[in-house]
Amino acid sequence: MVKRKTKFVCQSCGYESPKWMGKCPGCQEWNTLVEEETVTSSRGNWAMRSTTTPQKPMTISSISSEKEPRITTSMQELNRVLGGGIVPGSLVLIGGDPGIGKSTLLLQVSNQLAEKPLDVLYISGEESAKQTKLRAERLGITSGNLYVLSETNLRDIASQINELQPKFVVIDSIQTIYKEEVTSAPGSVSQVRESTSELMKIAKQQHIPIFIVGHVTKEGSIAGPRLLEHMVDAVLYFEGERHHTYRILRSVKNRFGSTNEMGIFEMKEEGLTEVLNPSEMFLEERSQGAAGSTIVASMEGTRPVLVEIQSLISPTSFGNPRRMATGIDYNRVPLLMAVLEKRVGLMLQNQDAYVKVAGGVKLDEPAIDLAVAVSIASSFRDLPSQKDDVLVGEVGLTGEVRRVSRIEQRVQEAAKLGFSRAIIPARNLDGWNPPKSIEVIGVHSVQEAIQKTLGNG
């Protein structure tokens, strides 16, 4: 006997309730509970499971540790973000805003792998095969090993994968795929969870890498339950502004490589192209001799990136001064301004402050504190910092400059781009040899760093 029951499932966090509620107790969101129908067997859920041969436990020493070769693409930026290439049998989730270029990126990657040659299956649930062909013609994709399937039924998709036995599969997108046994609509929490679980089994059992496209919510997180990000092996976010041509592919989870890795692409008419030296891109439009501009050497995963920090300090016209930040955490700006006011003596309490990371990149590591503080002081005093200075350091509440990680790679990247001085924490001076082309200066406090870069003016 099969019993049908109804339940209410939150579309944001997956919380289940036997009755409808206006506010979800799990994530505190309003009007997110949607009615779904569940099917259970009178013999219990165990009776609905497929009969597979159970595996026996093995000792850790008896498991072979052969390192499988990764599948590398022609895009070195994508290989870096994935940790060196595509791991066979991995399940990778790619999210991003609509129209940012997710489908374009995966279609280009599919074509590169098909030219190796490898059989690649591109499954589109949002476009017909002819629409996919139109985009492929625009990108110059004509490989005979690239197969296109317009299907949303998970059972039919699994049957085509079993028949074709491809070496690489793309699902565009997971919100359009549905499993017949689940009665809720495609894109619901239950459908996304069950479909991803089935695709994970296919990837692991048949050793096929599968890339899944996921839609994002208006807050920027991937739509569906948070469990979705825990199930997959890697989570990549494709970021960028629609009005700019540059795109950033960022890794936030990777079981086979470094997290917070970053790859940069440029959107052109013929598709996405790699930006092999992002530091030059971020610094190419820098104004020379402008007050409020400093350069910081930030780490994105294992890659050092030089970025310009810009600040504008002006007297306020209102009772409460404004604080605005773009590209960095907003709370960091008033904190650093309080340190400058208390420890350096800058009267900033009646000043509006606008801080921006040029180029549209987002920085979230503590090592950018010193560059932001010097940038604010430079704009307030209207004194430009030296154009060949790079600043790195974390700033404490007592005004001290604290050590940061990977200082050697940061300084080497600055020296490679022609900078002559690096202002770093004094505790980072020991244990390595800086390049001869750059002068490394260690500082103990923010006040000392400001004196080194701006003088006593």
Q: Binding site: residue ranges? A: 96-103
Report pLDDT digits (tens) over 49-95: 444 567 789 888 888 766 778 999 999 999 999 999 999 999 999 98
Contact in structure between 372 and 347 (CB atoms under 8 Å): no
Q: Binding site for ATP: residue ranges? A: 96-103
User: Tell me: domain 281-454, CATH 3.30.230.10, correct?
Assistant: yes
Q: Calculate helix-pair angle for 154-164, 189-206, nearest 10 degrees.
A: 10
Kind of pairing between the strands at 351-357 and 323-326: parallel
- Say how far apart CA 22 and CA 158 lie, in whole Å: 38
CA separation, residue 373 to residues 37, 362, 435 (Å): 56, 17, 26
Report pLDDT digits (tens) over 208-228: 999 999 887 666 666 666 678
Tokens of 21: 């509620």
Q: Calculate helix-pair angle for 102-114, 129-138, nearest 10 degrees.
A: 80
* pLDDT of amino acid 358: 87
pTM, two decimal places: 0.76
The partner residues of 297 in beta bridges, in order of sequence, read: 306
Residue 446 clears pLDDT 70, i.e. is over it = yes
* pLDDT of amino acid 187: 82
CA separation, residue 368 to residues 240, 328, 362 (Å): 21, 9, 11
Q: Within a 10 A sphere around the Cβ of 417, how many other Cβ atoms?
A: 17
Contact in structure between 307 and 358 (CB atoms under 8 Å): yes
* pLDDT of amino acid 48: 43
Report pLDDT digits (tens) over 395-436: 999 999 999 999 999 999 999 988 999 999 999 999 899 899
- Say how far apart CA 261 and CA 79 lie, in whole Å: 10
How many C-alpha atoms does 379 have within 13 Å on its Cβ side? 24
User: Please, what is the average pLDDT of the chain?
Assistant: 88
Q: What CATH topology corresponds to 72-276?
A: Rossmann fold (3.40.50)
Output Rg (C-alpha) for the chain, integer angstroms.
26
Q: Which of 46-60, 300-314, 437-451 has the lowest mean pLDDT?
A: 46-60
